């Protein structure tokens, strides 16, 4: 999740807590944002986030970790997890992994990032908020140039 726009940048659904799934999500996020500069990567202290593979995948990032047994440090993503369950997943009897994947995809890609408004930034969707932000930057650069 991008904490500025609350957009879900990348996600992977998995049946395990293996670090390879976290690495896949990180690599997808890097590609989608064309990341060249270090960013802050915040996570809890789960074993998949403290593994050597995770450290390698985020070696150019500033790694930030929640305090032990303190989920409030990760409140934004914890809130998102509660939201997807409450607004979407709890409405269905999930039949299998593929069904779960389709449900998560539909919620994130076709609703949360594109349609669902957030009071945090003027009742815009995360995609809309990023567009407004980028337009503001373009105007600033054009004015300064």
Ranking 33-47, 49-63, 70-84 by mean pLDDT, the lowest is 33-47
- What is the reported pTM? 0.85
Q: CA 48 to CA 17: how far, in whole Å?
A: 7
**Residue 36: its pLDDT value, please?**
66
pLDDT at 27 over 70: yes
Identify the three-state secondary structure at position 5. coil
> Which pLDDT tens digit goes with each residue over 110-143?
999 999 999 988 999 999 999 999 898 888 777 7
In a domain, 80, yes or no: yes
In a domain, 33, yes or no: yes
Residue numbers of the domain that contains 118: 19-144
In a domain, 66, yes or no: yes
**Residue 45 — very low, low, confident or very high, per pLDDT cuts 50/70/90?**
confident
**Residue 74: its pLDDT value, please?**
84
**Residue 70: its pLDDT value, please?**
77
Instruction: State the first-to-last Cα distance of the chain, in angstroms, to the nearest integer.
Output: 32
> Which pLDDT tens digit goes with each residue over 62-102?
888 888 877 788 888 989 999 999 999 999 999 999 999 99
Cβ contacts of 29 within 8 Å, gap of 6 or more:
9, 10, 35
- Tokens 């300064």, residue located: 144
Cβ neighbourhood burial of 6 (10 Å; 0-12, 13-18, 19+): buried
- How many residues belong to the chain? 145
In a domain, 60, yes or no: yes
Strand partners, 41: 63
In a domain, 11, yes or no: no
How many structural domains does the chain have?
A: 1
In a domain, 7, yes or no: no
Q: Which two tokens stand for residue 78?
A: 């914890």
**Residue 52: its pLDDT value, please?**
93
Which CATH number covers residue 96? 3.30.420
- Among the listed residues 79, 81, 35, the one whose alpha carbon sits nearest the alpha carbon of residue 59: 35
pLDDT at 104 over 80: yes
In a domain, 13, yes or no: no
- Among the listed residues 45, 44, 9, the one whose alpha carbon sits nearest the alpha carbon of residue 25: 9
**Residue 145: its pLDDT value, please?**
57
Cβ neighbourhood burial of 125 (10 Å; 0-12, 13-18, 19+): buried
In a domain, 89, yes or no: yes
């Amino acid at each position: 999740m991008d904490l500025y726009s609350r957009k879900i940048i990348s996600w992977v659904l998995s049946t395990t807590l293996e670090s390879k799934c976290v690495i896949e999500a990180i690599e997808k996020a890097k590609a989608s944002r064309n990341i060249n500069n270090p960013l802050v990567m915040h996570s809890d202290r789960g074993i998949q986030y403290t593994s050597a593979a995770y450290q390698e995948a985020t070696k150019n990032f500033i790694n930030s970790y929640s305090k032990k047994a303190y989920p409030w440090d990760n409140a934004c993503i914890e809130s998102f997890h509660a939201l997807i369950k409450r607004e979407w997943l709890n409405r269905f009897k999930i039949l299998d992994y593929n069904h779960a994947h389709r449900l998560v995809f539909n919620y994130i890609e076709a609703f949360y990032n594109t349609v669902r408004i957030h009071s945090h930034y003027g009742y815009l969707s995360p995609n809309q908020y990023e567009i407004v932000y980028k337009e503001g930057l373009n105007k600033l650069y054009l004015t300064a140039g």
